[in-house]
Structure 1
Amino acid sequence: TERVNTLLTAFILTGIPYPLRLRTLFFVFFLLIYILTQLGNLLILITVWADPRLHARPMYIFLGVLSVIDMGISSIIVPRLMMNFTLGVKSIPFGGCVAQLYFYHFLGSTQCFLYTLMAYDRYLAICQPLHYPVLMTAKLSALLVAGAWVAGSIHGALQVTLTFRLPYCGPNQVDYFFCDIPAVLRLACADTTVNELVTFVDIGVVVASCFFLILLSYILIIQAILRIHTADGRRRAFSTCGAHVTVVTVYYVPCAFIYLRPETNSPLDGAAALFPTAITPFLNPLIYTLRNQEVKLALKTMLRSPRTMSEV
């Protein structure tokens, strides 16, 4: 077949397949998910900011940054996903597709690094409790967060440069609900072997190294917890880690499924991608408030005292 030489100016997102009779239901469902994600994460941010005991502690600095990332990822993906459940062609300008892919990988990899920092923070708090205030200062935690943002932006820039250095001259139908690397690469008018290899290695190295460090932290944490003699002490130590373990599992399993296996173009990819893009940002505030006594206490104090809110 003869190749069309005009380069594309827009892509069409096919979205996720769904029964037409459920269009309104899905639209309302994702609208609610989006609103609750923004409100839930905003509430955590305000709570951490308003409570002096929380915003002086590294764990809650990390939690505040996680809320910012969740609000960002949700805003990049979910409003575009909701357009899938409206009538008409779902086109996205070429520049919009580039921006979506960049910010998704920038924020996604920053989140990956942040989960690792949170695991390291829990490791120091439980395994080195006496040295923790010296080892994990507010200044160090701010530097670590800054490092995660910089590493994430480099990762995002690398992925977007590699993906869009290739020519796209038609077809323009992205078989996905947002511009992500595997779906966009299928439309390139050039050999994508190098891209697929670099994507696999780059994302593989980021995900695998972060996951390995988190796993190592938790093996050491569990060993330390099992040495605690009182049942109450063990329960409290586990409860500070439970939320983080839950969130990491919900985040990593779908990511590994999407990026770290041979190209299959399975319809399950779309379903798996809903977790890191829409479901995890929605669940994070719930998991952290329900599993964390200090956040619950700070929320109650803040809601009882409107004066605290006015000071924010």
Structure 2
Amino acid sequence: MQNAANGASTTLMWVGRAAWSLVGLAAPWAVLGEGRSGAVGAAANVWGWGAWLAVLVALFVPSALSLTAVRIIVPAVAAAGLWSAEPAAVGTALFALVVLSSRDVADVLVQGSAYGAETRFVLRTPVPYLVPAVLVWAALVGATVGGTLLLAAGNLVAGIPVAAAGAVLAWRVPLRLHRLSRRWLVAVPAGLVVHDHLVLAETFMVRRNHLGPVTLTHAAGDEADLTGAVPGRRVTVSMTQPDKVVLSPITMRTLGTSQALHVVSFAVAPLRAGAAAAAVSAGR
């Protein structure tokens, strides 16, 4: 089976689609609704089937938005599977979570919305954003789903404020989390682009004739660290002449530097660092 343009495995993507189909057969949300009032069971099923259908569409219509949907919904369904304590629901939900959280699936999804000859590679989440992202995700899921179920159970005292908080979070949080899905190292015929509005204040482009050696490293060196302080493998790009990179305020504070830097080399941390380094090197 042919891989995506960025080399990500479409075979693994099909495994993920099959795994998500099995989640629909196990329907952990239906298990959770058993033994409860008709209104609560109906609310659980509306949420469950709506979430399942949204991810199914996202997997067959790949884009950066699809990656955001997968990242928000799949862990929530996995949590529902664990809560149900039903073996089939637990097993299918956890298997789908593992497959759909893979690096290849992320790159297949974002490549789906690439323009022309772009080859996109998702960047790893910067360390300063990891804990806040998990916390706001938990608040979003808990308030939206929990508020609905409380109202369905007739608990208006708790349900109204929780549902109201859920509505506010549903308006703001997905847009914030979507920014994490729109962080890419992009190889283009003209050179490469670092598209990352969390670490950078401006998109950074290096022309093809200014590209020097591209290497894989495992620790920070003298190059400008545009990884967001993530550990592990990174792609280090050298340039034949200095260029200006403009950092976001949080990156500037993390690195303890000025906002605008003139750099001759920099490092980024794609999920599939080896494939990204090979793609950039091929374009030199």
TM over 0.5: no
Q: TM-score range by the shorter chain?
A: 0.3 to 0.5
TM-score (structure 2 length as normaliser): 0.33
Higher strand share: 2
The structure, 1 or 2, with the larger RCO (C-alpha pairs under 8 Å, 6+ apart) is 1
- TM-score normalized with structure 1 length: 0.31
Structure number having the greater helix percentage:
1
